[in-house]
Amino acid sequence: MIKLPAELRSLIKKRQHAAGRRQSGLESTSKSAETPAPPAEVGIQLEFRDSLDPLIALGLKITSREGNFAGGIIAIDNLEALAAHPNIVRIEKPPREKKRLDKSIP
């Protein structure tokens, strides 16, 4: 079972690619100036079993919890290790916030 959705796997690859470009000295090219760097951390929602303590030890910062579901922030570099932990059932990226404006206001 794949515990990470495609969007999070893509962020990991972009972060690894950007790190490789920095190490090889290619970051100063014009393309890197056009492409924003991937974020260092990402917000996630997860379903877990047993305890959150080992997940917190992997760098997860809990922002909310309800039963066996939690929301939090983690460094993208630690995301694969978190997904591989046996306490993780699944990880999701939170839905994007939508503007909820009252359309009756002129």
* 4-63 per-position pLDDT tens digit: 899 999 988 988 888 777 777 665 555 545 566 667 899 999 999 999 999 999 999 999
For residue 72, the enclosing domain spans: 1-16+39-95
Give the chain's domain count. Answer: 1
Please report the pLDDT score of residue 26 as a whole number: 60
Instruction: Name the 3-class secondary structure at 97.
Output: coil
Residue 74 lies in a domain: yes
Asked if residue 104 belongs to a domain, the reply is: no
Q: What is the pLDDT of residue 17?
A: 86
Can you give the pLDDT at residue 98? 76
Instruction: For residue 85, give the CATH number of its domain.
Output: 3.30.70.2980
In a domain, 22, yes or no: no
- Flag whether 7 is in a domain: yes
Number of Cβ atoms within 10 Å of the Cβ of 29:
11
Nearest to 38 by CA among 63, 73, 7, 12: 12
pTM of the model: 0.74
Bigger pLDDT: 20 vs 74: 74
Domain-located, residue 3: yes
Q: Does 102 fall in a domain? A: no
Residue with more model confidence, 65 or 25: 65
